[in-house]
Amino acid sequence: MKTTNELVQMKRDKEKITMVTAYDYPSAKQSEQAGLDTLLVGDSLGMTVLGYDSTVKVTLDDMIHHAKAVRRGAPDTYVVVDMPFGSYHTGDDAGVRNVLDLYRSTGANAVKLEGIECLEIIRRSVSAGVPVCAHLGLTPQSVGVTGFKMQAATTEGAEQLIEDAKRAEAAGATMIVLEAIPADLAEKVSDMLDIPTIGIGAGVNTDGQVLVYHDLLQYGSDRQPKFVKTYSDFNTAGVSGLKSYAAEVKESVFPDETTTYKKRVFDQ
C-alpha cells in the first residue's frame, strides 16, 4: 500500500497518481486487482449506488458502512473517504470529532473535505494525525448554490482558487482534488504546490486523475459529464446477461445437468 509520503514522492518524480471511486467490496477488489494507486469512497455514492439526485442526503453512517466494505475489498490500497454534507458544517469541534470517527472506524488512510471554510478542521485533524485531502473547484455538496458547472472561470475566481489551494496546503492538507476548473489553472496550482493535485475535469496536467467508477465503466450511470471517458460498458453486458438468464429460466434451460445436484433421494 502507498503511504501519504509516497504519494508526495510520486508527484516529485512526475509519476501520475491514479484514483477511482469505490463504494463496496467488489468495486474495491477490482480496483486493487487493476493496480490503482488510490481509491476514493466518494459521497457520490449517494447518486451512483443509493439513487439520490445529489450527495446531500448521504450520512456519516452511510460513509462508514461503505468505506468499511471498501477497506475489506482493497486491504492493500490507499483509501480516501469523504466527509458527507452536514458532518463538518456545524462547528469545528463537531467537525473534528466526525473526522476522527470516520478515520478510526473505517481504517481509511485519509479523509476528504470539500471547500475552504473548513480550514480549522483540516488543521486540527492533521495535528491529530489524520491525513486530509482538500477538494476545490466544483464541490458537489454545494451544487445547490453553484450549479453543476465549471468553476473559477474568471480571473478573480482563478485567483481565489489559487489562494484557497495555498491555504489548504498551509493548513496541512496532504492532497487536493481539483474538480471542473480550467486546465491552465489546474496546471498552475499543481506546479505551485508541494502536495499532489488529483484532477477531475481539470485537464491532463494535474498530478493524478480521479473518475467515478460507475461513469468510467458505464455501470448504472446515465449521466455523462463532459470530462468522463468510458472504458467499458457494464450496462450493456449486465442487461444482456440478465436477459439471457431470465429467458433460460422461462424455457427451463437453466438449471441444466451441470448446475444440478444429481444424487437421487426419492425412488420413482
Catalytic residue numbers?
A: 179
3-state secondary structure of 185: helix
Cβ–Cβ under 8 Å, residues 52 and 140: no
- 110 contacts: CB under 8 Å, gap ≥ 6: 4, 78, 79, 80, 81, 130, 131, 132, 133, 174, 175
Among the listed residues 62, 82, 187, 215, the single contact to ligand KIV using CB under 6 A: 82
194: cell is 508541494
By beta-carbon proximity to ligand KIV, the closer residue of 42 and 172 is: 42
By beta-carbon proximity to ligand KIV, the closer residue of 189 and 212 is: 212
My answer on whether omega of the bond before 182 falls inside 30° of 0, hence cis, is no
Report the alpha-carbon distance of residue 209 to residue 198 in Å, rounded.
5
Q: Return the residues of window 168-187 that contact ligand KIV according to CB under 6 A.
A: 177, 179
- Closest CA relative to residue 111, chosen from 83, 91, 140: 83
Q: How far is the CB of 196 from ligand KIV (least distance, A)?
A: 14
Site size with ligand KIV, rule: CB under 6 A = 11
Q: How far is the CB of 66 from ligand KIV (least distance, A)?
A: 11
By beta-carbon proximity to ligand KIV, the closer residue of 227 and 254 is: 227
Among the listed residues 32, 43, 187, 207, the single contact to ligand KIV using CB under 6 A: 43
Q: Where do contacts with ligand KIV occur on this chain (CB under 6 A)?
A: 21, 40, 42-44, 82, 177, 179, 200, 210, 212
